[in-house]
């Protein structure tokens, strides 16, 4: 199957980025959110990114207009009734996602694929609440979506080969690099990244080094573009803690225990860049 038209559910940071890259590649995109205000904010952030691309000569004014013309907005999931693919990017909450998938299963055409951008919830459980579990899959885009090449394509145990192949081709049509993984806690991206961040926090907790020193070691010695503690501050320390808890509970293995210092920072409201303080202080 060739995907021509899509719908993105959730116009937040990720949803608006996903809608933008599809629209830029010529897909007909509906962007859905509960609130009109969130939709307008999503469109405004897209407009800002596209205008910067025009200023820097990465895109023409005509391409910017064509991209925005490919997007219409919606506040009703019923508008998914003519879509080939729906990508859900609502809040990271299983109850909310389950409700969205059940409704999408009712209203979308029989052939439609239902994808989720979840960074930590089990795709297999999401697929199981629908009557088309073989057409459910994870499409894990990275932040910021227009910049990052990877799409981690996660197969639930029920996902069919046909569904996987369609999604792989679709990701390539966006100019992204799809990588196939199976559905286990943290998939590959967060299972490898988060324990590294957690271990970096342990080195601070145990007094091995100051945050600046930990980040310098990883930047200069391992060629990482940014240190793990800076990255943790950017991701949000609450999100890092949440994902460590998913790994810890999902595998029941003590190697994933979240560092007590991470828990303490989150309790204090030191969530990183978004709260003005994490391992570093932000103006
Ligand atoms: N932020 C990241 O770096 C990142 C990276 C990869 C994946 N993700 C995943 O992407 C998803 C979205 O994350 P985000 O950072 O964009 O969140 P966000 O809070 O910026 O946006 C979520 C949007 O969903 C909307 N929403 C909530 N319930 C809805 C519903 N029932 N129907 C329609 N819209 C609804 C909200 O109004 C909001 O605009 C989450 O599952 C998250 O785990 C996030």
Q: Which residues contact 223 (CB under 8 A, 6 or more apart)?
A: none
89 Cβ below 6 A of ligand 1: yes
Residue of the nearest CA to atom 25 in ligand 1? Answer: 10
Query: How far apart are the CA of 117 and the centre of ligand 1, in A?
Result: 9
Domain end, chosen from 182, 204, 219, is at 182
119 is catalytic: yes
The response to whether 15 counts as a known ligand-binding position is: yes
Any domain includes 283: no
90 Cβ below 6 A of ligand 1: yes
Taking Cα atoms as reference points, which of 250, 235, 150 lies closest to residue 196?
235
Domain end, chosen from 152, 182, 212, is at 182
Any domain includes 281: no
Task: For residues 195 and 78, state if they share a domain.
Answer: no
Any domain includes 278: no
The answer to whether 266 touches 116, Cβ cutoff 8 Å, is no
Query: How far apart are the CA of 91 and the centre of ligand 1, in A?
Result: 4
Residue 90 has pLDDT above 90, yes or no: yes
Query: How far apart are the CA of 17 and the centre of ligand 1, in A?
Result: 11
Task: For residues 122 and 216, state if they share a domain.
Answer: no
Any domain includes 280: no
Task: For residues 156 and 200, state if they share a domain.
Answer: no
Any domain includes 204: yes
Identified catalytic residue from 32, 70, 120, 190: 190
Any domain includes 250: yes
pLDDT of residue 212: 98
Q: pLDDT, tens digit, for every residue of 43-86?
A: 999 999 999 999 999 999 999 999 999 999 999 999 999 999 99
Q: How confident is the model at residue 1 (pLDDT cuts 50, 70, 90)?
A: confident
The response to whether 97 counts as a known ligand-binding position is: yes
Q: How far apart are CA 265 and CA 270, in angstroms?
A: 5
Query: How far apart are the CA of 211 and the centre of ligand 1, in A?
Result: 30
Task: For residues 223 and 176, state if they share a domain.
Answer: no
Task: For residues 127 and 211, state if they share a domain.
Answer: no
Q: Which residues contact 44 (CB under 8 A, 6 or more apart)?
A: none
140 is catalytic: yes
| Beta bridge mates, 28 | 5
Task: For residues 79 and 34, state if they share a domain.
Answer: yes
Residue 283 has pLDDT above 90, yes or no: no
The response to whether 92 counts as a known ligand-binding position is: yes
Task: For residues 138 and 262, state if they share a domain.
Answer: no
* Longest CA span, the chain: 57
Per-residue b or e along 242-271, where b marks 16 or more CB atoms closer than 10 Å to that residue's CB: bbbebbbeeeeeeebebbebbeebbeeebb
Identified catalytic residue from 32, 117, 120, 140: 140
Domain end, chosen from 182, 199, 224, is at 182
Task: For residues 161 and 221, state if they share a domain.
Answer: no
Q: How confident is the model at residue 219 (pLDDT cuts 50, 70, 90)?
A: very high
What pTM did the predictor assign? 0.95
Q: How confident is the model at residue 175 (pLDDT cuts 50, 70, 90)?
A: very high
The response to whether 143 counts as a known ligand-binding position is: yes
Query: How far apart are the CA of 118 and the centre of ligand 1, in A?
Result: 9
**If you average pLDDT over residues 9-19, what whole number do you get?**
96
Task: For residues 60 and 145, state if they share a domain.
Answer: yes
190 is catalytic: yes
Print the domain residue range for 66.
Answer: 5-182
119 Cβ below 6 A of ligand 1: yes
The answer to whether 47 touches 68, Cβ cutoff 8 Å, is yes
Q: How far apart are CA 109 and CA 85, in angstroms?
A: 10
Percent pLDDT > 90 in the chain is 99
The response to whether 273 counts as a known ligand-binding position is: no
- Write the CATH number for 238: 1.10.1040.10
DSSP code per residue over the chain? ----EEEEE--SHHHHHHHHHHHHTT-EEEEE-S-HHHHHHHHHHHHHHHHHHHHTTSS-HHHHHHHHHTEEEES-GGGGGG-SEEEE---S-HHHHHHHHHHHHHHS-TT-EEEE--SSS-HHHHHHTSS-GGGEEEEEEPSSTTT--EEEEEE-TT--HHHHHHHHHHHHHTT-EEEEEE-STTTTHHHHHHHHHHHHHHHHHTTS--HHHHHHIIIIIH--SS-HHHHHHHH-HHHHHHHHHHHHHHH--GGGPPPHHHHHHHHHT--BGGGTBSSSB--
Task: For residues 86 and 120, state if they share a domain.
Answer: yes
């Amino acid at each position: 199957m060739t995907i021509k038209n899509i719908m993105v559910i959730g116009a937040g940071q990720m949803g608006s980025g996903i809608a933008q890259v599809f629209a830029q590649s010529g897909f007909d995109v509906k962007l859905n959110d509960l609130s009109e205000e969130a939709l307008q904010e999503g469109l405004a952030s897209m407009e800002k990114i596209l205008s910067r691309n025009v200023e820097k000569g990465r895109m023409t004014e005509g391409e910017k207009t064509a991209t925005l013309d490919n997007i219409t907005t919606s506040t009703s999931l019923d508008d998914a009734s003519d879509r080939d693919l729906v990508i859900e990017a609502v809040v990271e909450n299983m109850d909310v996602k389950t409700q969205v998938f059940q409704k999408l299963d009712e209203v979308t055409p029989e052939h439609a694929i239902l994808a989720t951008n979840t960074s930590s919830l089990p795709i297999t459980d999401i697929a199981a609440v629908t009557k088309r579990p073989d057409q459910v899959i994870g499409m894990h885009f990275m932040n910021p979506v227009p910049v990052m090449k990877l799409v981690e394509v996660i197969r639930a145990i029920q996902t069919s080969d046909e569904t996987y192949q369609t999604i792989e081709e679709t990701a390539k049509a966006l100019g992204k690099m799809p990588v196939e993984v199976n559905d286990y806690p943290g998939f590959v991206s967060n299972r490898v990244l988060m324990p590294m961040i957690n271990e970096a926090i342990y080195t601070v907790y145990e007094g091995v080094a100051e945050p600046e020193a930990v980040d310098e070691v990883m930047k200069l010695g391992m060629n990482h573009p940014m240190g793990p503690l800076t990255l943790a501050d950017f991701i949000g320390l609450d999100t890092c803690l949440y994902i460590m808890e998913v790994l810890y509970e999902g595998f029941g293995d003590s190697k994933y225990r979240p560092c007590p210092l991470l828990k303490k920072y989150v309790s204090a409201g030191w969530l990183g860049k978004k709260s003005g303080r994490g391992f570093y202080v932000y103006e």
